[in-house]
Amino acid sequence: MSERVSNISVVIDSLEGDLESFDKHERYILSHDGYTSFHTIRYSNIIKREYGISSYLATFYKENVICGLVILYNCPVFPLGKKFTDLLFSGSYGGLLCNKDVLKQSLIKVLKQELKTHFLTELKLTKRDVKHITHDATSIYVNYKLSLYESIDNIWTDKVDQKARNQVRKASKSGLQFSLHGIEGVEEFYDVYKKTMKGLGSPAMSLEFFKCFAVEFSEEVKISIVKYNDTPISALFNILTEKRIHNVWAGSLFEYRRYCPNYMNYWELIKWSKDNNINEFDFGRSIVNSTHESFKKQWGAQKIELYYYDVLRNRHSYTIDTKSKAVLLFTRIWRSSPCIFTNIFNNFFLKRTG
């Protein structure tokens, strides 16, 4: 498929079968300042193998040269239907990559003309990205990023609030141990993560997904674990990209929360990042006014309002209201249901939360 608007055109290809012909596209992704592992064709291959979700590569050309691209996942929605969405399961934003001399709004306009007869197409953008193309810009999700350019002492005293500092000190006095791992930490991470998700009443990514991810992106994966008496009680699955580190998935056992393990985990990881010349710590996505957002605010990170943009309708994409009675009922049922039930239906619901 192709459509031309002004001097920019787009070609949409299915990412199926032999992918060697997309080598130049992968190189473009890896050369872009804003890329992460989630932008890559290799990541889309993992999603296809593990969850059967197909994807499409929309490549934008200017004078026959690539000037931008985005991978769109053909993802089911709840209760019925389909949507195209970018950066599936990453909790991130900015799936549309483009040259510095090209406006994202121009590419979105071309994409809209190409997909005008299709179903919902959703792009995860910042509120700043969409201010010129829509007036309906209510943020449901926010992201927090902590700059690490200052000294670690200044970050501790000037950015981290007093409550968080006290909790870090409490964790240090509780005899907790922090350690950092690569692929060898996947199973310990997963044990904490899966129990956490069950306790929250939410479906979980699979162990095989994390294993495949850690193998494919072995240099990028950094798993931080906090233990109490050699028992993992807090675990973070982090992705290192150039000078940025992204905390994407996390788990913490409820019965050990009095020891404040998450505070130690995040602070020790921030210190490690600073020691290794990393410039930015990305806390990931949170729902506005949630307990997760309150936790991330304590670290003095910059707030970025996110906008899930419905390309075809020029408005905020429909998202599940996590505070609705139906969703609250679902979480209670999921939390209390036997594992044999949640294991059977996990992927059905998971694929509808991307």
Do 142 and 304 form a contact (C-beta atoms < 8 A)?
Answer: yes
Tell which CATH architecture fits domain 150-278.
3-Layer(aba) Sandwich (3.40)
pLDDT of residue 3: 43
Would you report the helix, strand and coil content of the chain in percent, each value rounded to 5?
A: 40, 30, 30
Burial call 183-204: b when 16+ CB within 10 Å, e when fewer: eebbebbbbbbbbbbbbebbbb
**pTM for the full predicted model:** 0.92
State the burial class of residue 88 (Cβ atoms within 10 Å of its Cβ: 0-12, 13-18, 19+).
buried
Helix (H) or strand (E) holding 69: strand 65-76
Domain residue extents for the chain: 2-128+307-327, 150-278
- Say whether 150-278 and 2-128+307-327 share the same fold: yes
Quote the CA–CA distance of 326 and 199 in Å, as a whole number.
Answer: 18
SS3 172: helix
Per residue in 284-325, pLDDT tens? 999 888 889 999 999 999 999 888 888 888 777 766 666 667
Q: Cα 118 to the chain's mean position, in Å?
A: 25
Query: What are the DSSP calls for 195-229, one per residue?
Result: HHHHHHT-----HHHHHHHHHHTTTTEEEEEEEET
User: CATH fold of 2-128+307-327, please?
Assistant: Aminopeptidase (3.40.630)
Instruction: Give the dihedral of Cα atoms 329, 333, 335, 339; nearest 10 deg.
Output: -160
Per residue in 149-206, pLDDT tens? 999 999 999 999 999 999 999 999 999 999 999 999 999 999 999 999 999 999 999 9
Smallest Cα–Cα separation from 88: which of 285, 289, 280? 285
Per residue in 43-60, pLDDT tens? 999 999 999 999 999 999
SS3 10: strand
